[in-house]
Each structure stands twice: as structure tokens, then as C-alpha cells.
Amino acid sequence: MTNDERSTNAQMTQHPERARRHSDFASHSVAARGQVIPSTLDIRHSSLARRLIATAAQLADLLPQIESADRVAVDTEADSLHCYREKLCLIQISLPGRDVVVPPLWGDASQERRGPNTRRDRRSRLQRDYIVDPLAEVADVAEPASGGQALQSQQRDRSRDGSRKGWAIQPVQRTSCPPGAQRIDLVPLCAELERKEIVLHGADFDLRLLRRGLNFSARRIFDTVIAARVLGIREFSLATLVKQHFGVELGKGSQKANWARRPLPARMIEYAMNDTHYLLPLADCLESQLRERDRLDWLRQSCQRAIEQAAIERVRDEDELWRIRGSASLRGREAAVLRALWQWRDNEAEAADRPPFHILQNHQLLNAATSFASGSMPDYKHFSSRRRQAFRQAAQAAMQLPESEWPVLCRRFGTRPGRETVRRAEELRSRRDRAAEELDLEPSFIAPRSAIEAIAADETCATTLLVPWQRAALGL
């Protein structure tokens, strides 16, 4: 679900696609010079055999592993693009592992760069990665297929070899739960995670999904998006940060996949596992940089605010839901038909357990409302006879409504700010921009426009809208 909130805290975890310059700090870092940091650290997947948690017994074996860790990387997958009501489909968990010294292999590219007469051991971190599957119809155990190899090695070899060796999913035990139902009790997992510092990348979505699906509330988090932005890094997608720090390119092929399908294909398991596999070492790198710049407390303040914001339920006016983009141009009977068709589509989507856009997309909904109001009879080939009939009945019922029951155009009138408020807003904006230049941060990360205007009108809003380091940057 798109995050429509425009508060400074919601913006902390948004991912802008446009390219921007790195901070001065980043430009002097190893990563900004096009090299990989740290060059001697190789983060390896532990074997995925028995790492897919689909039964109570497997979960019971995992809990002591979590208990022994101080910090746990977590990510989630949902099916919002494929179902009416989004549900939690996977929880990916990575735990810190031991560091081991691995002798270099002959033919290793890093050795070739150093020359044939040099032979230096490199440090490898064997990390423990798990996927907890609440929806598993079978207790799926991921094993390497014949001739399979570690996932990181697959990433490296992709450019050299077009073939890919993945992970075979072996069904070993069936359950009798209905499709889509949670099959294992995850309350013990939530209780264990609540005691840990959780590392996430863009925490808002995951925290909201875990709260809705499992009633889970994190106490401490380390959001790598917030950490990167506090450092002044402008490009902070997980793929970008992993490539800069570890020289690995993450695949994107399963971003829009149906995570409720079972059994999971090998490529989806690989994608899901990589979402957490690099988070712990990435957090270590970012934390070290934050400590050097004396900004670690800034991160803690912003992460705590992110937890608070994610706990707030987003509520929308039921009478406003049908007002989709483009609906403002519709008036009178057209608006009445659009409202009726939107409600029909929502009921159809809920009954079929499909997203509303699978029934009819927004632009088609707008065109249909206009066509019905002008006397035409729009039709869509993918409609069944039953759905086509219900579609037309909804429109015809709206066409017969008296004018008194047509929707009223809602105009949002705000109070025009006075001269003093305008002057105050300009002063705050100037302070923010100067601070952003000095700290090499994005101005909107210190305080977005909405916060500036709200504080200009009422300075007491500052404590609600901004965390202490942001207020200090504005001189408040």
C-alpha cells in the first residue's frame, strides 16, 4: 500500500527514484570511489536446508537462536497486489553468525587482481537465514538442487553464466488448514522478537503489516533507510546500498510476485532471503559511520518516532474512498454513477478476494461512469454474465437517483495564513535550508513543507512533528 502520509517521519522511509548527489561524507568514502567496502568481508548464506520454518517444531528450534542474538534482521512479504485484504505471507529473519577465515580459491578474481604470488586469507561471515512461512500448505524444506551453490555465489556468477542453479522445495508434510489461513502459532516468535533490536529497511510497511497480522509491536528498531538519510546519502534503496558496500547486485524479479502461492518457487525464495541477508552487516557499516559523525542519537530518535507513527491506524472517510484520481472533473449524475460503480467494484473484489483493480481499473471506472451518464452502455470482455449484469444494475440504480442524492463536491477551504505566519514560515524555511547545507542533508528530511507551515502557524506543533535533532537544526 502506498504511503500517502507527508509527515517528516513518514518521508524518512520513502525511496525516491531520481538520482541525486551523495553527501560530501559519502564522496570521500570508499563506496563513493566505486570500490566495495569492506573488501575482505564475504557474507555467506548458511545452508537453507531446514531454514524454511513451516511447523511448530521448526519454530521451536528457531526461537533459541533468536534468543541468543542481540540484533535480528527482519523483512516481510505480503500479497496486496493479488488479494482484496492484504495478509502476511512470509517473515524473513537473519541472525548474526560466526566469522571464519577462508583460504582464497585459485582462480578467485580478487586474488588475480593482487597477483599470482600473493595468497591472502579472507574473512567470511557465515550468517543464519530463515524464512518463517505462516501460510505453508506443506512443511517446505529448501535444499540445494543437484549441483546447487550458495545464493551469493549465484549472484556473482550470473554475469558469467546464463544458467542458474536454484533451490528445490521438497514437500514433506501436509496440513488440513483452509487456504490462506495461518498454520502455525507465531505468538512465541513475536514475544522473542519484541525483546530484540529489529533491523529493517524502510520500517513503516513491515511494522504496520506485523501489527495487523500478528499484533506485533517492536520496541527498538534500526532502519537502514533512516540511517542512510541521517548520513546524507541520497540513493538509499537496498539494492544500491548492498552494491556499494558488498559489491553484490540484488535481483528484482519477484517484487510484484504473488507471495501467497505455495509452494514457493526457488527464485522467490532467493529474492526473499536476500531482503534480510545483508541487513545486519549493512547496519554495522552504517552504525560505524554514524558513530564517527556523532549522529547515532539522531538515528535512535528518528527510529523511535517511526515506531510511534507505524502504531497509528490510518483512517479514511468512507464517503471519500470513491473519489479516485480524476473524479474531481465529474459532476452531478456522473459522480453518482462513479460512486455506485466504485461500491460495486469493491463488493466484487471482496467476494472474489482480488484487488479492486483486477475487477476494473480506475480509468475504466471513470470512463464507464461518463459513458453511462451520456446514455452509452460500456462493456468489458473479461466480465462474466453475472458480473456484467451486476455492473449494469449498479449504474442504472445510480442513474435513477434524484438530484438531492447526488454527491456534493467537497471543497477543502483552509484558513489563509496571515502575514506573520507567512513571515515565520519563510524564516523557518531559511533556517532549514541553511542547516541542510551545513549538515549535508536533504532539506525535506529535516522538515518537510507541511511541518514548516504547521509550526509557523503554531510552534507547539514542533514537538509532535519533529524529533529533537530536527528541532535543534531549526533552532527551536
Helical spans, DSSP H, in 408-448? 419-439, 443-446
Distance (Å, rounded) from C-alpha 394 to C-alpha 398? 6
- Which of 65-79, 106-120, 343-357, 431-445 bottoms out in mean pLDDT, i.e. has the lowest? 106-120
Q: Is the pLDDT at 84 greater than 70, yes or no?
A: yes
Give the model confidence (pLDDT) of 414-430 as tens digits: 678 888 999 999 999 99
Q: Report the run of H or E that residue 50 belongs to, with start and end.
A: none
Q: Over the chain, what is the mean pLDDT?
A: 80
pLDDT of residue 149: 38
Query: Going by DSSP bridges, is the β-strand pair 71-78/88-95 parallel, antiparallel, or unpaired?
Result: antiparallel
Amino acid (1-letter code) at residue 313: E
* pLDDT in the model for residue 414: 60
User: Is the CB of residue 242 less than 8 Å from the CB of residue 324?
Assistant: no
pLDDT digits (tens, 9 = 90+) for 280-299: 999 999 999 999 999 999 99
Mean pLDDT, residues 361-388 taken together: 95
Residue position matching grid coordinates 529473519: 93
Q: What are phi and psi of 199, to 5 degrees?
A: -95, 125
Res 165 pLDDT > 70: no
pLDDT 10s digits, 103-153: 554 444 444 444 444 444 444 567 899 999 999 864 444 443 333 333 333
Beta strand pairing call for 88-95 and 122-132: antiparallel
- Helix H, strand E, coil C: the string for 107-176 is CCHHHHHHCCCCCCCEEEEEEEEEEECCCCCEEEEEEECCCCCCHHHHHHHCCCCCCCCCEEEEEEEECC
Could you tell me the pLDDT band of residue 14, with boundaries at 50, 70 and 90?
A: very low
Which of 148-162, 189-203, 279-293, 319-333 is the least confident region?
Answer: 148-162
pTM of the model as a whole:
0.77
Distance CA 259, CA 82 (A): 9
The 10s digit of each residue's pLDDT in 443-454 is: 999 999 999 999
